[in-house]
Structure 1
């Protein structure tokens, strides 16, 4: 059905008069009448009874008026939400990132975002598959590589390196390897070589596995690797950001690490004006800046 005809029908039904509807729509009475007749012909139904005191809806007209009322209400709601989304921070925000980054870095920091914006509804989608932002599979992504799509706004957040970690208790009990060859005396905990992961991490794991390990535990994500390390099962390959929130971790073999992994935040160009996106972007940026300041503070204390 033609939306213009439905809009005119709704105005007539609401006003109960062709003349009053025409005044509201800035159309002549004859133009409104022609549109109503055309709509009735297309539906093969009479929508109004004509009386001296005005127009009264028929049963079919009542059904159509209920439908147009619901449509207009939904349109008004959508228009309000579009306006509000440009002015306020509320509503659903679909965020996608990797399981490791989402569970180990992002999720523990979300209470501060909710404290600032309690009306946000975050749908956190953690998976290694890269969701299609232009196709609106998600609103915003944090990715371990620069997005390739041209129609995305992107910002480099930080860099990550994969390093070796163990707990203080593990080191006290089993000692710390002095060379990479000494890793053969320890259990290696890492992502499975077959699991999807950044190339830098896979390369470091392949290098470590060139040495014969007496035992190995492989997991399909870094959250599982961290749990293995925290439970003193061995020495794990983990992204360096985990050490910021886990003071019980000790870095092992400081000279061994992966190449740099860039971390990008990206969102579709069409969401440039979204206050939800801006709030999330600024929150993540501030958290990273705060982490850097804390790290510099610790390094300063260590050097005193």
Structure 2
């Protein structure tokens, strides 16, 4: 298939107009129109519905646009990696991690990464679904389990535990539980066990629920749990990495915690030499070292 025609088709599909696409490609409207007609004849199909307000893709056009969009992304990524290998750190870096780790730990620290690399463009995808790194759904991932996909470089970052935290004002008003059974007299703020989360956290929540906690607030992500705790609503189940950033919180029932949860950073083997990946990896490791130092001073 003619790559030049596909390039012109992609520009027209994005712009929704022959004229706008021509301006982008520095071609006349008639030249763009001829290339689109030739592509439609080659494929024996109609790719656009034409009306007074512009062009709309047909069903067949949508299928082709999906393909050209994927091609364009791969070509852009390849070009960026080529430049990356010999120039400064810049361009798009697609990072995926969980909603909890992304909102509570990673995003608040990103200003320091941007300060060092102002031309970096990070596309942060926060979701519990594990994206396919070899298929380039993302460039780098931070996950709460060891990645099982092949052809990945993986590095264990640290271990996380789910623990119980509350605000001093809440404990002053309601008292501090001394035993697990005392949780019956408190409000538990936790992630909903029906939502996606690590098994260790879910197990801890089930243990707490088993003592017949009277009042609960369940949220579908840890950011909501944190806000509930900071608002004095109750005792929350949270990852231990939050305490360094919110030292005013008090750990409750310190003998009670989840099993250890490993945290891994992973990226495709083909990106081993990427300066963007190296910059992000080194940033995360440096921030984790600072985080560990703060926690050590807090003795938590």
Provide TM-score, normalisation by structure 2. 0.73
Q: How has the CA–CA distance of structure 1 residues 232 and 107 changed in structure 2, closer, same or farther, with 3 Å as cutoff?
A: same
Contact 2:81 2:274 in 1 (8 A): no
- 1:203 to 2:203 alignment: yes
**What CA distance in whole angstroms lies between the structure 2 residues aligned with 1:232 and 1:94?**
36
The residue aligned with 1:84 is 83
Q: How has the CA–CA distance of structure 1 residues 85 and 245 changed in structure 2, closer, same or farther, with 3 Å as cutoff?
A: same
**What CA distance in whole angstroms lies between the structure 2 residues aligned with 1:212 and 1:82?**
55
The residue aligned with 2:43 is none
Q: How has the CA–CA distance of structure 1 residues 77 and 186 changed in structure 2, closer, same or farther, with 3 Å as cutoff?
A: closer
Q: How has the CA–CA distance of structure 1 residues 189 and 78 changed in structure 2, closer, same or farther, with 3 Å as cutoff?
A: closer
The residue aligned with 1:212 is 212
Q: How has the CA–CA distance of structure 1 residues 164 and 271 changed in structure 2, closer, same or farther, with 3 Å as cutoff?
A: same
The residue aligned with 2:275 is 275
Contact 2:243 2:295 in 1 (8 A): no
Q: Deviations over 1:184-217 (max 9, x none)?
A: 0000010111111101001000100101111001
**What CA distance in whole angstroms lies between the structure 2 residues aligned with 1:165 and 1:252?**
5
**What CA distance in whole angstroms lies between the structure 2 residues aligned with 1:267 and 1:77?**
18
Contact 2:102 2:126 in 1 (8 A): yes
**What CA distance in whole angstroms lies between the structure 2 residues aligned with 1:189 and 1:79?**
45
Classify the secondary structure of the residue corresponding to 1:257: coil
The residue aligned with 1:42 is none
Where do residues 66-85 of structure 1 align in structure 2 (5 Å cutoff)?
A: 81-85=80-84
**What CA distance in whole angstroms lies between the structure 1 residues aligned with 2:292 and 2:229?**
24
Contact 2:141 2:267 in 1 (8 A): yes
Q: Which blocks of at least 5 consecutive residues in structure 2 are unaligned? A: 5-29, 36-74
Provide TM-score, normalisation by structure 1. 0.72
The residue aligned with 1:133 is 133
Classify the secondary structure of the residue corresponding to 1:217: strand
RMSD of equivalent CA atoms: 2.2
The residue aligned with 1:161 is 161
Q: CA deviation at 1:298?
A: 3.6
